[in-house]
């Protein structure tokens, strides 16, 4: 129990310092992106620019111990750094925080709920060839708060690779 409280405290302190700083979202304010996501919640992805942050959502299918889950996640994300390798080679680094939920079927059936904090990298083809298409990879820890419809804490990882078309 002490480990869980310590991890949550560190996560709150890190998230607070990150989101208190001056950063910006990948999308411009009121800009919408729609795409596909592979990994945690394989399915459809959407990103909406809020100015300083992006609101990101994924809905789809997930796999856990051989079982199928139908679920989704929602998070806020912001750009904290940009790797710049010259003309048309910019890679924004993002951090975020969000919630995942899903309904599992099979041996581990029931509702699940988790908090996660991914770090990501992105590349946009818009600078290179005026195509409003971008690709991303996100990876981060997650803390399960509910498993099989019972209060049960556990640790895992969130991982996703995908792409967006920006309107």
Q: Tell me, what's the pLDDT at 110?
A: 77
Six-digit token pair at 26? 């990948």
Q: Tell me, what's the pLDDT at 15?
A: 58
Nearest Cα to Cα of residue 78 among 17, 134, 165, 11:
17
Q: Tell me, what's the pLDDT at 29?
A: 84
Supply φ then ψ for residue 118, to 5 degrees: -85, 155
- Alpha carbon 104 to its chain centroid, in Å, reads 20
Low-confidence stretches of the chain (pLDDT beneath 70): 1-25, 63-66, 107-108, 147-149
Q: Tell me, what's the pLDDT at 99?
A: 92
The residues pairing with 92 across neighbouring beta strands, listed in sequence order, are 82
In tens, the pLDDT along 60-107 reads: 987 655 677 888 899 999 999 888 887 778 898 999 999 988 887 776
The pTM of the full predicted model, rounded to 2 decimals, is 0.78
Q: Tell me, what's the pLDDT at 4?
A: 60
Q: Tell me, what's the pLDDT at 126?
A: 85
What structural domains and CATH numbers belong to the chain? 2-166 (2.40.160)
Q: Tell me, what's the pLDDT at 118?
A: 92
């Amino acid at each position: 129990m002490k480990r869980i409280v310590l991890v949550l405290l560190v996560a709150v302190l890190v998230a607070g310092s990150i989101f208190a700083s001056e950063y910006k979202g990948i999308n411009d304010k009121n800009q919408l992106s729609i795409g596909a996501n592979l990994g945690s919640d394989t399915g459809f992805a959407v990103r909406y620019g809020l100015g300083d942050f992006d609101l990101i959502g994924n809905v789809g299918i997930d796999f856990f111990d051989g079982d199928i889950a139908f679920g989704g996640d929602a998070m806020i994300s912001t750009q904290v750094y940009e790797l710049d390798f010259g003309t048309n080679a910019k890679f924004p680094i993002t951090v975020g925080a969000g919630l995942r939920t899903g309904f599992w079927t099979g041996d581990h059936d029931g509702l699940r709920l988790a908090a996660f904090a991914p770090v990501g990298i992105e590349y946009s083809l818009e600078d290179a060839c005026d195509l409003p298409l971008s690709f991303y990879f996100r990876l981060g820890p997650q803390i399960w708060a509910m498993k099989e419809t019972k209060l049960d804490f556990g640790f895992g990882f969130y991982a996703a690779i995908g792409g967006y078309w920006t309107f």
